[in-house]
C-alpha cells in the first residue's frame, strides 16, 4: 500500500495525541469503531463555555496509518471551530486532504463519526449540567 | 558492518534464489535449451538428462523414488492436481474429503469448488496451538472418505501438524493422504515413507530455488496412487501433467533441493537460535505480546506474534525498512483479519495485531537485533496513541465493552 505524504506525515508526527479529562463538563468524548474491525478512535474536544469555540482537541487511535492520519487531521481542524462549524466537517474533506484511496475511505468515515460522537457527548453533558444548575437554584 | 536496509524477514512468502542455484541454471537458458520431450537429437537428450537429475535430487530430499516426482508450475497447481485428480479418479469409491480450516487457499478453494460439484468436504477445526485433533480426524472419517489433505506446516504461523500420526490413521483406514509440504520441505527433515504420505506438494521458490516450478510427489507403491490429470495435452509426466517441462526451473529446483539436503541441519539450528533470540528480545522489551500457535511444533525459522492494542498495518508502516507480513487486512469495508489466526480463537483484535517473521539462509544476528529494537520502539509509540491500551491500563475489560460496529 502506497501512502500519501500527508498520511505519512500525520503517522510519523501525529498532532494532538493524548487525553482530556473525560469528566470535565466542557469536554466531549467520542469513542467509535471496534477492535475486531481493526479501528478504534477516541476523539475529545474541550469547548470554551464563554465563546462556544473548541479550545483543544485530542485523539488516540488504534488502526492503520490512514486511520491515525484521519483522526490526527480531525483534531487539527477542530481547534478554533465552533461546535456548529465542527459538525459541518465531512469525511470527504478528510479523504481529499489526505488523498485516501477507496479502500481507506472507511477511516475518514470513522473520523467523522468520532467528531459527531464527541460533540454529542459534549452537548449531552451541557444539557444535563444546565438542568442540574436550574434544579439547584432556590425557588423562592 | 552496517546493516543493509530494507531487511528481508518474509521467507515464508518467498526466498531469494541461492547463487549456486542460479549458476546451475544458467547453461540451460542458452547452451542446453532443448525440449526434454525431443527424443531425436542431443539437445533433447541433454534436457531430459538434466530433468531426470533434478527429479532425483528432489526425490532424495524427501526419501522418494525419482519416478514419484511430477513437475508442475508450483504448489498451487500441485494442490489442485492432488485434490481434483483424486476426486475424479476415485469418484466411484467415495465423495468425501477431509481437510482443515487453516489450510492454504489453494486447498480450501479447490475443496470449495468440489463441494459445488457434489463432493462432501469436512473442514476440521484446529486447537489453540494450531494443530488438528487426531480424535476429530478419526471421527470425521466415513466409508465414503477418499482423501485426507492436511498441510505439513502452516504458512502463516509455522505450526507443524502431526503428519506421521495422520499418515498412520489414513493408512489404517485405507484413505489417501495428501499434504501441502511447501513450507516444511528443505527446512526440517521430511520423509514420505516415515510419515506415510501418499502425495506431497512442493515449491522451488520457498527453498531458495526459482519461482514458477513445483512438484507433486505421487506414491507409486503401497498404494499406487492414480490421478486424473487436470491439464490435457502431450501426456508428459506419466500422463499426469501435460506441458513442456520447465527445464531451467527444474535444474534450479533440483540444485536447491540438493543444497537443502546438505545444509538442512546446520541451517535449521542456526535459524532456531536466531528466531529464539528475536522472540526473547521482544518478550524482554514488551508486555502483552502473544505467540500465535504452538512453539513446540513449529518451523525453526518461523515466528508469529500478536502485539496487543496495536494494529498490524500501522505497525508495518512503522517498520517500513523491515519486510514482514501482517495478519491484518485493513483494506476493505469488512476488514477481515487472517482466517488462520481467527481459527486459533485468538480474537479478532489480536489477529489484527499480528506480525509473521520468517527467517532464512541470509538472516544475520545484526538483522534480528535491529528488528527487535525497531519493533520495540514502534510498538511503544503506537501504544502511547492507542485508546485500547489506555482503556486496558485503566482496568477496563475490552472484551465486555459495547463497541459501535454499525457500518464499519
Q: Of B337, B387, B404, which has the smallest distance from its Cβ to A60's Cβ?
A: B387
Instruction: Report the pLDDT averaged over residues B25-47.
Output: 96
To the nearest whole percent, how much of chain B has pLDDT over 90?
89
Task: Give me the pLDDT at residue B333, please.
Answer: 45
Q: Of B384, B398, B408, which has the smallest distance from its Cβ to A33's Cβ?
A: B408
What confidence tens digit (pLDDT) does each residue in B278-288 have?
A: 999 999 999 99
Task: Give me the pLDDT at residue B38, please.
Answer: 95
Model confidence, pTM = 0.91
Task: Give me the pLDDT at residue B326, please.
Answer: 83
Is the per-residue pLDDT at B272 higher than 50?
Answer: yes
Instruction: Report the pLDDT averaged over residues B126-142.
Output: 97
CB contact under 8 A, B390 and A1: no
Instruction: Give the up-direction half-sphere exposure of residue B110: CA atoms within 13 A in the CB hemisphere.
Output: 26
- Residues A83-112: b if buried by 16+ CB within 10 A, e if exposed: beebeebebebbbebbebeeebbbbbbbbb
Which among A111, A125, A100 is positioned nearest to A28, based on CA atoms?
Answer: A125
Task: State the residue for C-alpha cell 469536554.
Answer: A27
CB contact under 8 A, B335 and A113: no
Instruction: Report the pLDDT averaged over residues B167-172.
Output: 98
Task: Give me the pLDDT at residue A2, please.
Answer: 78
Cβ–Cβ under 8 Å, residues B34 and B207: no
Residues linked to residue A57 through DSSP beta bridges, in sequence order:
A45
Task: Give me the pLDDT at residue A1, please.
Answer: 59
A68–chain B nearest CA distance, Å: 8
Q: Of A17, A33, A35, which has the smallest distance from its Cβ to B385's Cβ?
A: A17
In sequence order, the 6+-apart residues with CB closer than 8 A to the CB of A83 are A47, A52, A54, A119, A122, A123
Q: Which helix (H) or strand (E) holds B137?
A: helix B134-140
Is the per-residue pLDDT at B148 higher than 60?
Answer: yes
| B265 vs A: CB within 8 A | no
Q: Of A59, A62, A65, which has the smallest distance from its Cβ to B388's Cβ?
A: A62
Instruction: Report the pLDDT averaged over residues B18-44.
Output: 97
Annotated catalytic residue: which of A12, A21, A37, A90?
A37
Task: Give me the pLDDT at residue A130, please.
Answer: 66
Angle B236-B237-B241 (CA atoms, 0-180°, nearest 5)?
75
Task: Give me the pLDDT at residue B408, please.
Answer: 45
Give the ipTM: 0.89
CB contact under 8 A, B328 and A64: yes
Instruction: Give the up-direction half-sphere exposure of residue B200: CA atoms within 13 A in the CB hemisphere.
Output: 29
Task: State the residue for C-alpha cell 460439484.
Answer: B117
Task: Give me the pLDDT at residue B406, please.
Answer: 52
Task: Give me the pLDDT at residue A127, please.
Answer: 86
B260 catalytic residue (yes or no)? no
Q: How far is CA B335 from CA A112, B327, B338, B407, in A?
A: 18, 11, 10, 11
Task: Give me the pLDDT at residue B307, please.
Answer: 95
Model confidence at B398, pLDDT cuts 50, 70, 90, reads confident
CB contact under 8 A, A35 and B403: yes
What confidence tens digit (pLDDT) does each residue in B60-118 have?
A: 999 999 999 999 999 999 999 999 999 999 999 999 999 999 999 999 999 999 999 99
What confidence tens digit (pLDDT) does each residue in A40-76 have?
A: 999 999 999 899 999 999 999 999 999 999 999 999 9
Lowest-pLDDT choice from B11-15, B21-25, B308-312, B402-406: B402-406
Task: Give me the pLDDT at residue A135, please.
Answer: 60
For B402, other C-beta atoms within 10 Å of its C-beta total 7
**pLDDT tens across the length of chain A (140 residues):** 578 999 999 999 999 999 999 999 999 999 999 888 889 999 999 999 899 999 999 999 999 999 999 999 999 999 999 999 999 999 999 999 999 999 899 999 999 999 999 999 999 999 876 666 666 555 54
Cell of B96: 468425501
Angle B349-B160-B356 (CA atoms, 0-180°, nearest 5)?
40
B379–chain A nearest CA distance, Å: 12
Distance separating the N- and C-terminal Cα atoms of chain B: 47
Task: Give me the pLDDT at residue B332, please.
Answer: 45
Cβ–Cβ under 8 Å, residues B53 and B38: no
Is the per-residue pLDDT at B124 higher than 90?
Answer: yes
Cα A65 versus chain centre, distance:
17
| B317 vs A: CB within 8 A | yes
What confidence tens digit (pLDDT) does each residue in B310-366 have?
A: 998 899 999 999 999 887 655 444 456 788 999 998 777 788 889 999 999 999 999
Nearest Cα residue in chain A from B406: A33
Task: Give me the pLDDT at residue A133, please.
Answer: 60
Amino acid at each position: 500500500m502506497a501512502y500519501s505524504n500527508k498520511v505519512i506525515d500525520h503517522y510519523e508526527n501525529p498532532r494532538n495525541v493524548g487525553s482530556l479529562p473525560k469528566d470535565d463538563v466542557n469536554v466531549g468524548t467520542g469513542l467509535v469503531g471496534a477492535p475486531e474491525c481493526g479501528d478504534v478512535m477516541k476523539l475529545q474536544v474541550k469547548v470554551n463555555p464563554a465563546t462556544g469555540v473548541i479550545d483543544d482537541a485530542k485523539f488516540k487511535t488504534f488502526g492503520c496509518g490512514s486511520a491515525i492520519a484521519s483522526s490526527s487531521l480531525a483534531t487539527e481542524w477542530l481547534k478554533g471551530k465552533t461546535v456548529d462549524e465542527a459538525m459541518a466537517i465531512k469525511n470527504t474533506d478528510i479523504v481529499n486532504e489526505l488523498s485516501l484511496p477507496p479502500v481507506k475511505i472507511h477511516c475518514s468515515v470513522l473520523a467523522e463519526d468520532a467528531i459527531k460522537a464527541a460533540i454529542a457527548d459534549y452537548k449531552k453533558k451541557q444539557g444535563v449540567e444546565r438542568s442540574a444548575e436550574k434544579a439547584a437554584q432556590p425557588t423562592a | 558492518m552496517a546493516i543493509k536496509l530494507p531487511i528481508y524477514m518474509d521467507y515464508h512468502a518467498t526466498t531469494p534464489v541461492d547463487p549456486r542455484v542460479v549458476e546451475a541454471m544458467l547453461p540451460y537458458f542458452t547452451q542446453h535449451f532443448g525440449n526434454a520431450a525431443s527424443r531425436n537429437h542431443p539437445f533433447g537428450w541433454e534436457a531430459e538428462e538434466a530433468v531426470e537429475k533434478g527429479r532425483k535430487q528432489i526425490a532424495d530430499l524427501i526419501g522418494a523414488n525419482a519416478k514419484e516426482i511430477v513437475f508442475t508450475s508450483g504448489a498451487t497447481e500441485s494442490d489442485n492436481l492432488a485434490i481434483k485428480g483424486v476426486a475424479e479418479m476415485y469418484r466411484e469409491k467415495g465423495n468425501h474429503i477431509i481437510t482443515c480450516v487453516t489450510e492454504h487457499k489453494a486447498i480450501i478453494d479447490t475443496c470449495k469448488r468440489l463441494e459445488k460439484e457434489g463432493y462432501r468436504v469436512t473442514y476440521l477445526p484446529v486447537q489453540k496451538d494450531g494443530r488438528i485433533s487426531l480424535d476429530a480426524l478419526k471421527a470425521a472419517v466415513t466409508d465414503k472418505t477418499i482423501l485426507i489433505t492436511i498441510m505439513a506446516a502452516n504458512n502463516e504461523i509455522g505450526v507443524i501438524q502431526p503428519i506421521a500420526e495422520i499418515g498412520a490413521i489414513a493408512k489404517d483406514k485405507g484413505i489417501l493422504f495428501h499434504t501441502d509440504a511447501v513450507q516444511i520441505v528443505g527446512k526440517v527433515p521430511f520423509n514420505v515413507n516415515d510419515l506415510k504420505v501418499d502425495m506431497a506438494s512442493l515449491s522451488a521458490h520457498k527453498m531458495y530455488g526459482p519461482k514458477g516450478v513445483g512438484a507433486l510427489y505421487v506414491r507409486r507403491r503401497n498404494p499406487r496412487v492414480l490421478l486424473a490429470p487436470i491439464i490435457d495435452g502431450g501426456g508428459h509426466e506419466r500422463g499426469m501433467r501435460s506441458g513442456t517441462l520447465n527445464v531451467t526451473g527444474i535444474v534450479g529446483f533440483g540444485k536447491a533441493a540438493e543444497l537443502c539436503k546438505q545444509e538442512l541441519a546446520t541451517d535449521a539450528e542456526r535459524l532456531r537460535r536466531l528466531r529464539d533470540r528475536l522472540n526473547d528480545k521482544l518478550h524482554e522489551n514488551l508486555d502483552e505480546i502473544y505467540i500465535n500457535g504452538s512453539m513446540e511444533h513449529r518451523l525453526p525459522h518461523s515466528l508469529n506474534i500478536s502485539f496487543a492494542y496495536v494494529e498490524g498495518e500501522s505497525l508495518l508502516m512503522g517498520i517500513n525498512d523491515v519486510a514482514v507480513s501482517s495478519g491484518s487486512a485493513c483494506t476493505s469495508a469488512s476488514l477481515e483479519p487472517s482466517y488462520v489466526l481467527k481459527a486459533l480463537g485468538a480474537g479478532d483484535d489480536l489477529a489484527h495485531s499480528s506480525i509473521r517473521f520468517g527467517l532464512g539462509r541470509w538472516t544475520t544476528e545484526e538483522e534480528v537485533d535491529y528488528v527487535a529494537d525497531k519493533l520495540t520502539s514502534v510498538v511503544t509509540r503506537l501504544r502511547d496513541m492507542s485508546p485500547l491500551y489506555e482503556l486496558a491500563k485503566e482496568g477496563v475489560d475490552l472484551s465486555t465493552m459495547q463497541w459501535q460496529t454499525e457500518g464499519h
